[in-house]
Structure 1
Amino acid sequence: MHWDLPSDLTQSGIREILNLALEHPGTIRLETGEPNFPPPPHVLSAYVDASRRGHNRYTSTQGIFPLREALQEKIQRVNGVVRNPDEILVTPGGLPALFLAFLGTCGRGGAVMVPDPGWPDYLGGMMSLGIEPIGYALKPPHYNPSLDELERILTPNTRAIVLNFPGNPTGRVLPKADMEDLVRFAEHHDLWIISDEVYDQIVFDVLPWSPARMAPERTLSVYSFSKTYAMTGWRLGYLAGPEPAVQSLTRVAMGVWSSVSEPLQYAGLGALQGPQQVVSDMVAQYRQRRDRAIAQLKNYGLATNCPDGAFYLLVDISPSGLPSRTLALRLLNDKGVAVAPGSAFGRNAENYVRISLASSEQDLAVGLEKLRDFIHEEQAHR
């Protein structure tokens, strides 16, 4: 029998550490981007109420109209982009939306430019479709793409570029002028822009500027409820783009997941229509954790970035002399602390580990202390 999936598909470096951490109860979990807050009460109420009212049936593949109408309002209010409900597709999480975006722009084949460092799950979706990932560097301290590099690595087979601001793992929010340069690059080379805006409302110092504000006709924007409303396990996301593209992707979704759970969609509607102070409160907590963690690391003599958004720190582990995966595995085994190895995000993050600010303040403080101890012990042995 013939099996057609690529044989080199592997789990991400984050998932490797996560799975090992699950085998060790009591591990300090700093490796995953999962808020330690519960979903807001009005989200839980909306889900239960919808179920009790009989909203437990198939829906339109594109999503219930009241939710898409509320998403239209949110996209205009938060992202500054005018879309109509027919330009929005509700998805079972952000990942399926990204997968559809890769499928629609490249089919089976083609090439897509992706950030390095960048979220490793981009690669899994692309490789399963036979799409070639072309990494473009995001280098400290500013983590800005280089237009010269983009021109140099562009191939005739390139169909799209992935932009992720606020970024995972860098936390970078790109200023308007820099985003305009990237949009002009995409327009000049007739590329699709796949804009991963999952962290669009988790920002501290600089407001994000969506490329869809400048090029709505060539931008597929991907969003999620997971980070904004602490709903990671609910699996609810959405994609917005030009109507012909969204309608085409909806027909694909019809044969894949048919429709997203109806009570879950009403929970999403409840999230959007309920009090938004819960989002501001969570972001304030992330900001406080960021500032305290940076101060703690500075006191330890360990270098890190200062993210504009999202909830991650990239901590320089080069003083340890260890590859990031080796350090992450040994830190887990020796100190009971789970961190994400920089190698999971690309070669440009090899000298770093990613620390999640979505963990509790106590876990964060103790975990960073144990990281310091581990690095100092390694230095003493060299």
Structure 2
Amino acid sequence: MSKQLRQSVQEIEISGIRKFNTRVAGIPDMIKLTLGEPDFPTPMHVKQAAIEAINNDFTNYTPNAGTPELLQAASAYFHDKYDLSYSTNEIIVTVGATEAINVALQTILEAGDEVLLPDPIYPGYEPLIHLMEAKAIKIDTTETAFKLTAEQLRASITPKTKALILPYPSNPTGVTLTLEELEQIAEVVRETGIFVIADEIYSELTFFGTHTSIATMIREQTIVINGLSKSHAMIGWRIGFLMAPEAITSQMIKVHQYSVTCASSISQKAAEEALVHGKDDAVQMRTEYNTRAGFVQDRLTKMGFSIIEPDGAFYFFAKLPDSVPQNSFDWAIELAEVAKVAVVPGSSFSEKGDRYFRLSFAASFSQLAEAMDRMHTFMEKYA
């Protein structure tokens, strides 16, 4: 029967994050620092808007791109936040940022195209590229503080290069790009004519300064992806946004339509409330994440882990000390079984990740404190 199934589908795998999380899920008394989702509840005013939508029977299809009210709210929100100028016909409401990524790639890629990825990177891009019969080209950033440089980008572009995927702040590293670094990357993109798919889902969780979208520099070549999962703790509501010039969105809407028709009507009403009356909902979360990051970084550093300080999101991509003989997968399994703390092996994000692991600090302070105590005890044998 497998011979009758599409070969490229059989060649991709469930993400290493999910596989590892499933592997350790049955261990009792586990502190899970694995999945990337806020531990805060969705704001009450957002939930109330959804309840009202249900009570008002707002349960039919919406226009494919989203309700006019939500599109207008998104246009205003992203302009106010990041100086992005997209009209309502240049925005598509998607089923989370994941669908947005898929729609963008399906729209621009042909078989044989190359897509550049800074490595390490979230594992959700490469399988989609493979399904488009295109090729993912990894650019190693482990020697450049997890930051893609303009020089690396220029050296990686070939006649087959169609796009660069640029996620910042980054999952799994938490690192973002400065204005000067973005300008240098934008200049290379401008000269070479490739697309940038800017995944800015963690933009509101930038700890230092204000997030800058590369679309303000090279608008005609940029597809912006954002959403409400991280900024408003709306993971399960599945609301993302695709933003691009109309020449691009007029083509992307076809892929979106035949994929999902439209995003949930109830979720769209909740999203409208989030954007209009919850512009600063992320402030409390961002402040708390930054505080947690400082605490966890201090504890991990004292245990001997090498860390590059995150600029945002809620992750550390930490390097194992030389005294640890195992690779990160075997070490993480032992950590889960012995210390009852779950982190994600770095190999889930990078071919060079065998000596790294991702730790999510999107957990309560009490959980983090207990996890650090357990890890400290566990690491004593490597001292």
TM-score by length of 2: 0.94
Aligned Cα root-mean-square deviation (Å): 1.6
Residues 290-344 of structure 1 show CA distances to partners (whole Å, capped at 9, x for unaligned) of 1111122233333222111111112221331221111122222222211011111
Structure 1 CA distance, aligned partners of 2:278 and 2:102? 31
Which residues in structure 2 correspond to 1:213-232 (within 5 Å)?
A: 213-232=216-235
> Which structure 2 residues correspond to residues 18-37 of structure 1 after superposition, within 5 A?
18-37=21-40
1:70 maps to amino acid: A
Structure 2, gaps ≥5 residues long: none
| Alignment match of 1:368 (pick from 346, 349, 372) | 372
CA distance in 1, matches of 2:280, 2:159: 47
- Who is 1:208 aligned against? 211
Q: How does 1:1-382 map to 2 (within 5 A)?
A: 2-6=4-8, 7-139=10-142, 142-319=145-322, 320-377=324-381, 379=382
Q: Is the 8 A contact 1:318 1:352 kept in 2?
A: no
1:209-248 per-position Cα deviation (integer Å, ceiling 9, x unaligned):
2110011111000011111111112211111001121111
1:25: Cα distance to partner? 4.3
Q: Is the 8 A contact 2:164 2:195 kept in 1?
A: yes
**Any unmatched runs of 5+ in structure 1?**
none
Residues 254-292 of structure 1 deviation map (CA, whole Å, 9 limit, x = unaligned): 111111111110010111122444311111110110111
Would you say the 8 A contact 1:173–1:207 is kept in 2?
Answer: no
1:57-78 deviation line (CA, Å, top 9, x unaligned): 0011100010010100111111
Q: 1:148 & 1:231 partners in 2: Cα distance?
A: 37
SS in 2 for 1:115: strand
8 Å CA contact 1:173–1:206 kept in 2: the answer is no
**Segment of structure 1 superposing worse, 265-274 or 18-27:** 18-27
| Distance in structure 2 (CA, Å) of the matches to 1:135 and 1:217 | 24
Deviates more, 1:255-264 or 1:273-282: 273-282
Aligned sequence identity (%): 28
Q: Secondary structure at the match of 1:166?
A: coil
- The offset of 1:3, in angstroms, is 1.9
Q: Distance in 2 between matches of 1:80 and 1:249?
A: 23
2: CA distance, partners of 1:66 / 1:197: 22
TM-score, with structure 1 as normaliser: 0.95
